[in-house]
A and B are shown apart, each in its own frame.
Chain A
Amino acid sequence: MEPLEIANKLKEKFPDEVIDIADFRGQVSVSVNRDRVLDICGYLYNEPDISMNYLSDLCGVDYPEKKFRFEVVYNLYSLKHRHALRVKALIPEHEPSVNSVTGVWAGANWHEREAYDMYGIIFKGHPDLRRILLPEDWEGFPQRKNYPLKGPEGWEYKEFKKVKELHSRDDEWGIK
């Protein structure tokens, strides 16, 4: 099926949920409300004509200027019918949470952990939601747009402070 056809079919099925359909370079993205993401993904997975059985990618995006600050982007692919669709769940800043889709695609597990790690988006119903790339005691969410590239000014990771402390008397002790 053509991606635009799938998008329109999705809009027919969930008229209140689909907010926007965008077509760029032959790739179609469907923006949806976050509340029924699980139903939408389940529908796309189970509907025989669509059968999106392969989750290529899942990631977060931060748009500080927009009404819905965060987006969780699902890049879906059907190995059976060889068509692709992108679904974007819009998430407000005040309550950054969305239902986890690990029940539909087991492969979403680590992608969701990474989105949580980098953007602080909470995935409800995730089996093991904790930081993945950063240390467990890291503060802040680095890929948010308001997080400076080099980290907050004057801020140091506390483990690094310990190392510095350890080496603070190197001169005194003659360690080079």
Chain B
Amino acid sequence: MEDIQEGKDIKATTTPDIASEEMVLNLGPQHPATHGVLKLVLKLDGETVTKCTPYIGYLHRGMEKLSEHRTYFQIIPLTDRLDYISAMSNNTGYCIAVEKLFGIEAPERAQFIRTIAAEMSRILSHLLWLGTHALDIGAMTVFLYCFREREKFLDLFERLCGARLTVSYLRIGGVRNDTEQKWLEDLYDLTEEFPARIAQYETLIDQNRIWLQRTKGIGVISAEDAINMGLSGPVLRGSGVAYDIRKFMPYAAYDKVQWEVPIGKNGDVYDRYRVRMEELRQSNSIIRQCIEKIPAGAIMADAPKFVLPSKDDVLTDIEHLIHHFVLITKGTQAAPEGEVYVATEAPKGELGFYIVSNGEGKPYRLRIRTPSFVHISALPKLCEGALLADVVANIGSIDIVLGECDR
């Protein structure tokens, strides 16, 4: 009897000591759950995170500095390597920004092809996100199903432009090559079966008790905070703010198709998951409408000062050959002086290009505002006060790619 009494006393005196011992944990930079080379230094009180400090820059390649020494054409492949799982969206963002600077516009057919390509890359990005996010939280099966569909979309990319990841498909003033009718038909067939696939993913996790417990009420961020921190894309929409650049400042062919902006209510991990799942359906519907409405016509703008001449002309005509040579070696000689900031809706959020031109063939300053950079800066807010296991759920839910964070 006395022993038990003693035991109780020991417990009562030791518990506060255990709790007061702070532990510092390095998560990353080589950790599968950080989705790249992100390092988080976590201070833990038991299992509760008291302080979270992200360290980035492991993938910093000096892209902004490098761009100041490259012509406008040469920057397109660099943009592939920003968010390397949705290269088409980055190409679109960059080309639209440069076109705005030059004051040219791509022809309508090119706009539709761009929209199709950008939405395909949104689907690809969201599928990779869903697979890895679920894998992090412990739902292994979804990963395999997501990659099954990703493969089909990537095969279509390969048929379209020869590459699966670093596509470099868009050109300033249009796209590199036209699509075949057969390609469009095959894509249409794929979009017909894709909604059933989305439903299939949902049956795997939507009602799963573990999934719900790991995501509902976790990583809550209010609409005011989300706006103030500059969050964008599905993360902002998960908090109930219907800010979608495709609706607010339509570009490409987004104003010619009908679609809705899905928003969440609570701003937790689960709502961000729901928003992205709904976006998959919307993207699918946008692609279908674009294929139905795509007009015939040119794929490159008629602006010889900025746009490369067609290969046939270059091979047969000396004027075009000289023109091509000057554009490639020196860049365009007619760039106006000025500056533009153009934002587009990449799969992960607002992708902005701020270009300062001083009239040379290369940009004077190219600033890339990437969604992942801003989203990682919000991680401390999401993680502090939460449990260690929720850190992984939070990282997954903001959908980051370190390539675009570090540039």
Chain A residues within 8 Å of B, Cβ to Cβ: 22, 24-25, 27, 29, 53-57, 59, 61-62, 73, 75, 79, 82, 84, 86, 105-110, 114, 118, 132-135, 142-143, 147, 149
Contacts and interface: CB of A to CB of B under 8 A. Distances in A.
A108 B369 CA distance: 12
A132 B407 CA distance: 12
Given A27-B339, A133-B406, 9 more contacts: A24-B339, A25-B100, A29-B339, A56-B341, A57-B354, A106-B228, A110-B376, A132-B57, A147-B65
Nearest to B406: A133
A149 B343 contact: no
A133 B230 contact: no
B60 A134 contact: yes
A142 B61 CA distance: 12
B165 to A, nearest CB: 23
Nearest to A108: B230
B339 A79 contact: no
Interface in B349-388: 350, 352, 354, 356, 365, 367, 369, 373-374, 376-377
B229 interface: yes
A57 B65 contact: no
Contacts of B241: 79
A25 B101 contact: yes
B374 A134 contact: no
A57 B367 contact: yes
Contact of A143 (B65, B101, B339): B65
B341 A27 contact: yes
24 contacts: A22-B338, A24-B338, A24-B339, A25-B340, A27-B340, A29-B339, A53-B227, A56-B341, A56-B343, A56-B369, A57-B367, A57-B369, A61-B356, A62-B365, A73-B354, A73-B367, A105-B228, A106-B230, A118-B64, A132-B56, A135-B57, A143-B65, A149-B65, A149-B69
A105 to B, nearest CB: 6
Given A25-B103, A25-B338, A27-B341, A54 B227 contact: yes
A22 B243 CA distance: 27
B322 interface: no
A84 B352 CA distance: 13
A25 B103 CA distance: 8
> Among the interface residues B100, B243, B354, B373, which one has the most CB atoms of the partner chain A within 10 A?
B354
A75 B69 contact: no
Nearest to B62: A142
Contacts of B69: 149
B66 interface: yes
A6 B85 CA distance: 39
Interface in B51-80: 56-57, 60, 62, 64-66, 69
A110 B373 contact: yes
A132 B373 CA distance: 11
Contact of A53 (B100, B228, B352, B373): B228
A53 to B, nearest CB: 6
Given A56-B369, A143-B64, A109 B340 contact: no
B217 to A, nearest CB: 23
A149 B56 CA distance: 21
A75 B60 contact: no
B377 A109 contact: yes
A102 B341 CA distance: 21
B66 A149 contact: yes
Interface in B14-63: 56-57, 60, 62
Contacts of B407: 133
B57 A56 contact: no
Contacts of B57: 132-135
Given A57-B354, A59-B367, A79 B341 contact: no
Nearest to A80: B227
Contacts of B248: 82
A135 B57 CA distance: 8
B229 A57 contact: no
A57 B100 contact: no
